[in-house]
Amino acid sequence: MEHHLPNKLKLEWPGLPNNLLLDIYIIANKIGIKKIAIVGGLVRDKLLKGAEFSCSNQGKDLDIVLEGSATDLARSLEAQLDSERFTDLQIHSAYDTASMKIDGYPVDLTTARLETYQAPGLNPKITPCSLKKDLLRRDFSINAMAIELSNMNLLDPYSGKEALASKEVEFLHPK
């Protein structure tokens, strides 16, 4: 099976280990995951700091959300990367999330999902959904941005970039 590798993925994300994003993308593609994106603080910080941005693993991690099973992707990464590169796997099957280190860098994988709560204080019920719907469940527009690995383009359905530029915190929903 031939895999389409986006040209822009050959460019490294400043401060991430070499080939980290490319390896995650290739393995995700092999198991049929087509929508996969960086979310969270790295996206926000990259937009705030621009060209001089470089992430380090002091207080940072790589947050990835995907349309598909985060658990399946984590297990595939574990199987296809050697044990020197891939360590510290933790699977949270009730939420279809996984945490690990790849090349010493903390990586969190999350299935794009909707959360419903039966009552305040109870854990949520998880339902898989699209990447766009997953971004809507987040708290603020500045946290609802993603960079898709297939093309390294910004996905910003709720104008988080504009809110960031104007130094405004905009709630996405009343909850």
- For the stretch 63-103, pLDDT in tens is 999 999 999 999 999 999 999 999 999 999 989 999 999 99
CB-based contacts of 63, cutoff 8 Å, min separation 6: 38, 39, 40, 41, 42, 108, 110
Cα separation, 138 vs 151, whole angstroms:
23
pLDDT for position 30: 95
Strands of the chain (E only): list them: 36-39, 62-66, 86-92, 97-102, 105-111, 113-116, 125-128, 146-148, 154-155
Q: Which residue has the higher pLDDT, 160 or 107?
A: 107
The CA distances from residue 120 to 4, 64, 124, in Å, are 45, 27, 9
Confidence band of 2 (pLDDT split at 50, 70, 90): very low
Task: Say how many residues make up the chain.
Answer: 175
The CA distances from residue 79 to 9, 27, 45, 74, 89, in Å, are 22, 10, 32, 9, 12
In this predicted model, what pLDDT tens digit does every residue of 32-61 receive, in sequence order?
998 999 998 888 888 877 655 555 555 578
pLDDT for position 38: 94
Is 145 in contact with 122 (CB distance < 8 Å)? no
Is 4 in contact with 107 (CB distance < 8 Å)? no
